[in-house]
Structure 1
Amino acid sequence: MEWHCKAFQDLSAAELYRILDARVQVFVVEQNCPYPEIDGKDPESVHLYATENGEVVAYARLLPAGLSYTEPSIGRVLVKEELRKTGLGKTLMNRSMASMQELWEVDVIKIQAQDYARPFYASFGFEPISDVYPEDGIPHVDMLWHRQ
Structure 2
Amino acid sequence: MKIKVKTFSELTKQELYDLLQLRSEVFVVEQDCVYQDIDGKDQKALHVLGFKNNKLIAYTRVFKPGDYFNEASIGRVVVAKKERQFKYGFDIMEASIKAIKDHYNETLIKISAQCYLKKFYKDLGFKEKGEEYLEDDIPHIAMVKD
RMSD: 1.0
What residue is the counterpart of 2:94 in the other structure? 94
For residues 1-148 of structure 1, what are the structure 2 equivalents within 5 Å?
A: 1-146=1-146
8 Å contact kept, 2:111–2:142 = yes
Distance 2:27 2:45 in 1: 18
Aligned length: 146
Unaligned runs of 5+ in 2: none
Structure 1 stretches of 4+ with a deviation exceeding 4 A read none
> In 1, are the aligned partners of 2:3 and 2:95 still within 8 Å (CA)?
no
The residue type equivalent to 1:29 in the other structure is V
Measured in 1, the distance between the counterparts of 2:55 and 2:17 equals 10
Q: Percent identity?
A: 38
Q: Which runs of 5+ in 1 are unaligned?
A: none
What TM-score do you get using the length of structure 2 for normalisation? 0.96
TM-score, normalised by the number of residues in structure 1: 0.95
SS in 1 for 2:139: strand
